Every structure is written in structure tokens, then in C-alpha cells.
Structure 1
Amino acid sequence: MAHPPFPGRRRFLAATAALCVAGALPWQRAFAAPCRPDGPWIPGDDFLAELPRLMQAFAVPGVGIAVVEDSALAWSRVFGVGNVETAAPLDARTVFETASLSKPVFAYLVMQLADQGVIDLDHPLVDYHRPVYLGEHPWLARITARDVLRHSTGLPNWRAAPATEKLVPLAEPGTRIDYSGEAFVWLQLVLEKLTGQSLDEAMQARLFGPAGMRDSSYTWNADLAARSVFGHRAHDEPGEGLPPQMFREQWNAALPVAEHWGKPLSAWKYEDAERALPEVMKRARPGLVTVPGDLLANAAASLRCTVQDYARFLARMVQRQPRADWEVAEATRQAMLTPQIRVPGRWTEKGLGWNLESTPAGPVFCHAGSNGGIFKNFVVGDARRRRGIVVLTNGGSGGFVYQRVVRAATGLDLLSHDV
């Protein structure tokens, strides 16, 4: 965890957030904080005019931005290209790889099922389902869905050698924060058992369909392949041509098997991926596919969608009336945005699926995403003011861009950019 560089940083941010920029030079106005704390989070024209220069400076070929105001998608734009080799421009139907922005969306599904009594957030996961790759450790019996969503399972983020390494906790559950994608996948397999559906089937039925998120999926098909951006190296990373595209390559190797079976990847559960593994390994380059999880939708990392679709989800997390029957209960939404574990010395807190931060303008919820060092994304919301912004990029240096977008749009310099 990174700490503020000096004790007065928050006082400094509070002061600078209040500064009016009316007398500033054009480039200063483009990057300075808004004068009105309650103003909209739609980036200003001066900043948008500068954005292509920023993208070029940091070798980020494509950026998508969408803004929620008054609990609804209010504005969206895409900039640049999805693949520098083809130079095909982005458009409103371009699909981004959201990386760890997948986690809050999955958390919403978990909370829907908790509202319905399908899962108890505080019941041990091993009682619901024990994956074959779990090791033997007494702490495993204490891990719950709440631990997964607040990152207190003690499990590693990802095993270094999943084909030979068993999954066990590295710390006592419930005692500290250990960011873990493995934990989210375990909870995903629990939901498979409880609902009888694949992850994508459950998401389409309970969230994507009702929320109008028509261009969202945790898996892969020919249409998504044609509309999905490619990831690109960071501006200071050496290399020629496009870097490896992990999910794209893994799923392209699995598609022929899915087509032969007549069962789309979106319908695959763990047992399907397990059965397909030997055949897909024959098709894939060495080392690309080693375990069934390489072929399965990934609750922690594999959501891809348009930037507008992500904003439609974000709109469900802020205060809104009326609420549809399929949405989580209001008390549940508030619980997702309430600190769930206290760890001394942290500047940010963990809700259920979200990071929480106090700012000079009030509390916000947020999450960052990074896949393979070639996709960098960020989302932040202000539930009380019913607004939010999501920035999706296809470059390894996308963090340098999304931080500037968020600062220009919101006036906030978030500590969550650094932790």
C-alpha cells in the first residue's frame, strides 16, 4: 500500500479542489479542478481537446469515457483506435476488456442472490462447493462470500503455477486485506452450483438483460472478437508488434471446441472447461492454456463491454428512485458501499466489491482494473450526488490517462490511484 507523500496532502487537495480556474491559461483550465463541487462530471471541452495529445504521449491508442448524472447514463465518448496495426477507429459499439472492473459487477450478482436467500454471505464457501484445486488447510473452512467481496480471504491474487500448485490461504481469513482474484473465481464456482447456470448465463438473466447492458459478456464469441479492442504495451516498455492477448488467444483456441459441441462459451461451466482442456491444449501455443480456469469466464477479470454499458451498471450503484424489482434492495446497495473491515493505517476502505475513499468533497466508491499490463481502467462514483465516471483504455500506460480524466472531470486527486 502506498501512503500519501506528506501529512498535509489532504489539506492541500482540499484547498486546490476549491480553486477557481477562470483566470488560468487554456492548458491550465483543461487540467484543473472544476469550480463547482456539485457540478457535472462530464469532462470539459478544453480537456477533451487535449486528450489526444495525452494519449499519444503515453502510447494509449484508445479511450472510452462515460458519465452518470442523476442516476442515468448522461454522456459518453470514445477516442482513438482499437488496434494500432489496423487503425480502425473506435465507435459506440466498441467493446473493452474491463479487467478487474469485472469484480464490482460480479459482486452485484452475488448481492442479488443474497437478497433472494440463495447464498448466505457469512456461510463457509466449502459447505457450498469445494473446488478440486483447493489444498488442505483449516483456514479454508472459515472463508465466506463476505470475505471474498471485501478481500479478506487470505488467499493469493493468483497462483504462480495453477497446474501444480494447490490453493491455500496465506493469511488468517478476516484479519487483513489480501487482494485475490482466486477468491472471486471460487465464489463464481459456488454460484454455478447454487444456480445451475454459468456465470454469463446468470449475469445475462439477472443484470445485463434487465439493465439494458446488451453489449456485455464475461466470455467470447465471434461478434465480441470483431468488436473488442486489442491491448498495447506501456509507452516505456520495449517490444515490436502487438503483445500477447491472453483472453483473446485462450478463447480463440477454445471456440472450435465450443462450435463442435454446439455449446457456446457463454454456457460453459467448470466441468465443460475441464472436459475441453485436453483438446484446447493441442490447439493453443505452449503454456497458454494449462488449467480449466483458462477457458472459463472469469468473475475477477474477463468482463468485456462498451463504456456505455459499464455506466449503465454504475447507475445502479448510486441513489435512485424508483428502483426496479430485480435490483438489489436499497439496504443491500448501501451495504456494498459501507466499510466491511477495518485495517489500521489504510487510507482507503473495502466495501463489498468496491473500494471506498473519503475525499474533500465527500465519500466515493471506486475500482481500478489492469489485465496483462496492456489494459488499464478506472471507475469512480459519488452515490449521494447520484453520479459517476468510468474510463476504459487499451494501453499499458492507460493509468496516466485515466488519472488525468478523473481529475479533470471530478476535481478529485484520489488516493485510490496509488493503492
Structure 2
Amino acid sequence: MNRRTFLRLLPAASLSPTQSQSQLKDLETQIPALLRSTNVPGLSLAVFKNSRIIWLQGFGVTDRASGTPVDSNTLFEAASMSKPVFAYLVLKLCEQGMLSLDTPLTTYTNRRLLEDDPRINRITARHILSHSSGLVPDWRSSDDPLRIASDPGERWSYSGEGYYYLQSVVNDLIGHTDPKQCGQFEAGVKVCATDFGESMQSRVITPLGMTSSGYVLNPDFAKRRARPHDANGNPLPYGTSRAIDLARYGAAGGLLTTPADYAKFLMQIIDPRPQDDHHLKTTQASS
């Protein structure tokens, strides 16, 4: 079952409270069978309506090796759902005048993501956030090097590399880099540690009240996180949250969170609180 099919099982916003509870009860009985049929060890799910969580359940186990049950406090790797949270920070920086959605990113940094394609000078934050920068592949490799495959703004092409680039520009504006703590990643790209996790915590996570979310692994998070598993349901090594890794992958996929906590972020988008130093305006300027 793919995600869209699963989402159709959730109650529609137009249903009455009684109808919603009935549909959720049906879903509660279906999920264990769905987990077995898809070989997924565990799942946690939050449903909210009118800025209030109306259903929160955990199913299965966090780790097939230990058998620890999933509950509402289990943290999961948000993977690419980390991108909207980073985008929130980018929009706030635009609102504060530190960045513009439509100014080329090379205006803000001396670093050159690519040296041999002048189109790099046309890529903007808007292109990155909308996956229309032209940067391919999603992540570079020795066999598939980073390049610009189409003019910025011309077409959609999913790009983790784009988010890495925008993250590095944001770090140049508001963060710090440790040149003594560096490593090599795909195709030999050199990345040095930054304070990305701390910046996201202070500027987005804490202000939005996401008390069970973060990028830096602390002892409490280590106890509560679910373990990754492969497509056959076999346990995999835990991901890391070293500062070097976060400098490379943090914006694209470094968030640890719970469904209830991520719901707080979504509720802020749907029904925003009044604007302040951390919360966005209800309307966003074009640049």
C-alpha cells in the first residue's frame, strides 16, 4: 500500500465527530494487518482536526531485535519531511530581510557549488524550495556527478543536493562552521561541521513548542527513537546526528520527531499563531 492509498483511510475533515471516531476505530483494527502485509515493524500516527489532536496511537515495535513497542513518545527519523521544517526557517529569514526568495544564492556566499556552469549564478532559494533548481541527481555519486540538467525554474526535479546548498548558504548567514571537524561524503565532497542542529532548535523547534523534536541526539532521544529497518523488515544501524552529518543532510532529512510533535508544526502552517520573532506572517511576500 502506498502513502496516498493509506491516507484515504483517514477520516475526512467534513465528517462529524461521531463519523470520525467510527472511521478511526476501523483504522485501528486495520493497521496491524497492514503492517504485517507490508513487513513494516512499527508505526505511530496522529490525526488532528481544528488545531487539536483527536487521535494518537502507536502500533508494532520500534526494533524487531528488542521487541520494544511503539507508543506516542517514540521518535522517528522524519527523512524528507524534514525539508518543510527547514523551509519554514528560510521563509522567516526572508521575512526578516536576511535572504530573498528570488535573489541568486551566490549573492550571499563565496562558496561555489559548481565551478563550470554559469547557471549556478541564477539559482535562488525559491528554486531550491520548489525543487526547480535544475540540480541533479538527488544526491551525487562518483558515477553520477552533481550538475545542472535544466535551466533554473524550467522544470521540477527533486534535489536533496539543492537543500544541502541552501543549508550551506543559510549557515553562512546565521551559523558557524568548525573547519577542524570535516569529512568527505559522496564523490569526495568535503563538508565541515556546523551548528545547524542548534540553529534549528532555537529558531524553529523550540518556538513552535516541538518538545519531542530535534536534530542533535541526546540521551533521552536515544532511548525513544525507532530503529531503521530494510524492505524485508531486518534491523539496520541507527542513523547518526554528528555535526558533520547534519551539515550535509540536516535540512534534507535530519529531523527526529514524533507524529504529535510534527502535527504541531503542521497546525502552525494551517492555523498560524500571531507573527513574532519566530512565527511567520500569515502571508508571505514574494521576495
TM-score by length of 2: 0.80
Instruction: Say yes or no: does 1:78 pair with 2:32.
Output: no
Match of 2:114 in 1: 134
Unaligned residue ranges in structure 2 (runs of 5+): 177-194
* Candidates 238, 250, 261, aligned match of 1:298: 250
Query: Identity of counterpart residues, as a percentage?
Result: 36
Please state how far the C-alpha of 1:37 moved relative to its aligned partner: 3.2
What's the offset of the Cα at 1:44? 1.6
Distance 2:205 2:13 in 1: 34
| Candidates 37, 40, 53, aligned match of 2:14 | 37
Distance 1:166 1:70, change over 3 A: same
Who is 2:155 aligned against?
176
Conservation of the 8 A alpha-carbon contact between 2:76 and 2:226: yes
Question: What residue number does 2:165 align with?
Answer: 186
CA distance in 2, matches of 1:68, 1:34: 10
2:12 and 2:219 mapped to 1: Cα distance? 46
Q: Which residue of 1 aligns with 2:180?
A: none
Cα shift at 1:182 = 0.5
Q: Which one has more relative contact order, counting CA pairs under 8 Å at least 6 apart?
A: 1
8 Å CA contact 2:9, 2:27 repeated in 1 = no
The 1:133/1:142 distance shift into structure 2, 3 A limit, reads: closer
**Alpha-carbon displacement from aligned partner over 1:297-334 (angstroms, at most 9, x marks no partner):** 520111111111100001011034x524231111129x
How far does the alpha carbon of each residue in 1:373-416 deviate from its partner, in whole angstroms, 9 at most, with x for none?
Answer: xxxxxxxxxxxxxxxxxxxxxxxxxxxxxxxxxxxxxxxxxxxx
Deviation at 1:296, TM superposition (A): 4.5
- Cα deviation for residue 39 of structure 1 reads 4.2
- The aligned amino acid for 1:205 is S
- Distance in 2, matches of 1:35 and 1:152, equals 32
Equivalent pair of 1:61/1:84 in contact (CA under 8 Å): yes
Q: Deviations over 1:208-255 (max 9, x none)?
A: 1111111211233443222211122224x8xxx42354x23xx4xxxx
Is the CA contact 1:218–1:297 (under 8 Å) kept in the aligned structure 2? no
- Structure 2: distance between partners of 1:192 and 1:137: 23
CA distance in 2 between counterparts of 1:69 and 1:36 reads 7
Note the C-alpha offset of 1:71: 2.3
Q: Quick one: which of 230, 240, 243 aligns to 2:236?
A: 243
Contact 1:122 1:144 in 2 (8 A): yes
Out of 82, 85, 97, the position equivalent to 1:105 is: 85
Matched residue pairs, number? Answer: 257
Q: Aligned equivalents of 2:149 and 2:94: distance in 1?
A: 27
Equivalent in the alignment of 1:340: none
C-alpha contact 1:68 1:74 (8 A) present in aligned 2: yes
* 1:309 alignment partner, one of 258, 261, 276: 261
After superposition, give the CA deviation of every residue in 1:340-362 in whole Å (9 maximum; x if it has no partner).
xxxxxxxxxxxxxxxxxxxxxxx
Q: Which structure has the larger Rg?
A: 1
- The aligned counterpart of 1:327 is 279
Q: Is the contact between residue 211 and residue 261 of structure 2 (CA under 8 Å) also seen in structure 1?
A: yes
User: For 2:42 and 2:196, how far apart are their aligned partners in 1?
Assistant: 28
Does the CA-based 8 Å contact 2:196-2:246 persist in structure 1?
no
Counterpart of 1:159 in structure 2 is 140
On the 8 A contact 1:133/1:166 being kept in 2, the answer is: no
Does the CA-based 8 Å contact 1:219-1:296 persist in structure 2?
no
Computed over aligned residues only, the root mean square deviation of the Cα atoms, in angstroms, reads: 2.8
Letter in 1 for 2:121: A
